[in-house]
Amino acid sequence: MRALLATPATGRVLDVQRLGVRFEVQDDVVSAVSNVSLTIDAGEIVGVVGESGCGKSTLAMAIMGLLGSTAHITGRVELLGRDLAGLTVEERRQVRGDRMSMIFQDPLTSLDPAFGVGDQVAETIRAHRTVTPAEARARAIGLLESVGIPAAATRYSDPPHRLSGGMRQRVVIATALANDPALLIADEPSTALDVTIQAQLLSLLRDQRDARGMAILLITHDLGVVAQLCDRVAVMYAGQLVETATVEQVFRAPRHPYTQALLAAQPSAGLARGSLRVIGGQVPDLSDPPPGCRFAPRCPLVRPECDSPPELLAAQPGHSVACWADPATHPGAAATASSTGAPRGAAA
């Protein structure tokens, strides 16, 4: 089965080109993800940040091929150089859990309550490798130990509810690592856990990346997690990427007004009580998004060009932004900058 996809010499693990996902809900068409392009190389951790409902999880599910028949997918997803759309249903199954795997948000519900935790790891191995049950069991115990579960052999048959949340998420990580994937998609892996456990799990993910050299696509709304763990960041807003850059670039010099607002909205310890910064306005309705830039109704730098959609363009090496007001990608933009600086929504 490993022959299906082999890591190419370039080290490019995932190449997403102009991915779009539309859902037809009754008479409405909701475009949850539009025109997303993203690449990840082996050993890289790329964060996708954005607020709730911006399409992060849909993007992850689309890459995994787990969206139901109500989803219409456009664009191209290449894993290890193979276009996943060209695979049969059975080939896609063989890829899932083997070459790419996924960690879900809630460890409390992403393990089957009727199964022993070790069995779920062993099942993942047996879905992809021809091994005897005893071999699968031995490997599963080894994996559970490697993700830091003490006395894994005695824990093997315990149902998930006997384990704490942090331990359960470790089991989930063990199932995801079971077949040494080239790509691990982690959808808010630490959101449901408390802060100390969060930190442990994030360092576990980093260690596993270092040991295995796999690529990680980390989906989160937590910029702190991004800063700790990621090499590169893609900022998503209303189903589109608005900025991609290295972590350094994003935190030092964010280019997109949304990214800037998002960073400014991070609470810090020194902040006076009651002075939390917020981004005014609301996320647009994705069944009827603004025709141009989707952030325009909330943007302080809004200008006439914003009525047509901006392209994601390179402002400098490794740093791309989709904004008409960005001086590097749209020279002369500064000259026409709106003098009021008031968001359009507020003026109307």
Partner 1 sequence: MTTAATTRSAPSHLTRLKRRTGGGEALVGFLLLGMLVFIAAGAPWIAPHDPEAIATGRVLGPPDLGHLFGSDALGRDVFSRVLYAFRVSLSVAIGSVILAALIGVPIGLIAGYRGGRVDAMLMRPLDLLLALPALLLAIALIAIIGPGALTVLVAAALIYVPILARVVRGSVMVTKQMPYVDAARARGVAERSVMIRHVLPNSVGPALIQGTVLMGFAIQIEAALSFLGLGAQPPTPSLGVMLSDGRDVLTQAPWVEIFPGLAIAVTVLALTLVGDGLRRQLDPRGMAR
For partner 1, the binding residues (CB under 8 A) are 64, 66, 93-98, 101-102, 104-106, 109-115, 120, 123-124, 127-128, 161, 172, 175-176, 178-179
CB of 96 to partner 1, least distance (A): 4
Are residues 183 and 13 in contact, defined by beta-carbon separation less than 8 angstroms? yes
User: 123 vs 145, which CB is nearer to partner 1?
Assistant: 123
Task: Output the smallest distance, CB 107 to partner 1, in A.
Answer: 9
Min separation Cβ 38 and partner 1, Å: 19
Pick 35 or 120: Cβ nearer partner 1: 120
> In this complex, which beta carbon is closest to partner 1, that of residue 164 or of residue 308?
164
Q: How far is the CB of 103 from partner 1 (least distance, A)?
A: 9
Alpha-helix runs per DSSP H in the chain: 56-64, 89-95, 117-126, 133-146, 152-155, 165-177, 195-212, 223-229, 247-252, 257-264, 344-347
> What is the nearest approach in angstroms of partner 1 to the Cβ of residue 234?
21
Distance of alpha carbon 282 from the chain centroid:
22
Residue 232 forms beta bridges with which residues?
Answer: 46, 246
Alpha-carbon gap, residue 159 to 156, rounded angstroms: 9
Tokens of 196: 């100390």
Residues sharing a CB contact under 8 Å with residue 118, sequence separation 6 or more, in sequence order: 137, 140, 141, 144, 152, 155, 156, 157
3-state SS, residue 277: coil
CB of 225 to partner 1, least distance (A): 20
Element containing residue 19 per DSSP (H, E): strand 12-25
Q: Taking the complex as a whole, how short is the minimal distance between the CB of residue 189 and partner 1, in angstroms?
A: 13
Residues present in the chain in total: 348
The smaller minimum CB distance to partner 1, of residues 189 and 254, is found at 189
SS3 of 95, please? Answer: helix
- Residue closer to partner 1 by CB (options 34, 175) is 175
Residues 6+ apart with CB under 8 A from 196: none
Query: By C-beta, is 35 or 124 nearer to partner 1?
Result: 124
Asked if 32 and 18 touch (Cβ cutoff 8 Å), the reply is no
Q: Which is nearer to partner 1, 93 or 212 (CB)?
A: 93
- State the number of CA atoms in the 13 A half-sphere of 180 facing the CB: 10
| CA angle, residues 49, 222, 239, in degrees to nearest 5 | 25
Q: Of 100 and 235, which has the nearer Cβ to partner 1?
A: 100
Bridge pairing between strands 71-79 and 82-83: antiparallel
Of 164 and 203, nearer to partner 1 (C-beta) is 164
Minimum separation from the CB atom of position 243 to partner 1 (A):
28
Least separation, in Å, of the C-beta of 131 and partner 1? 14
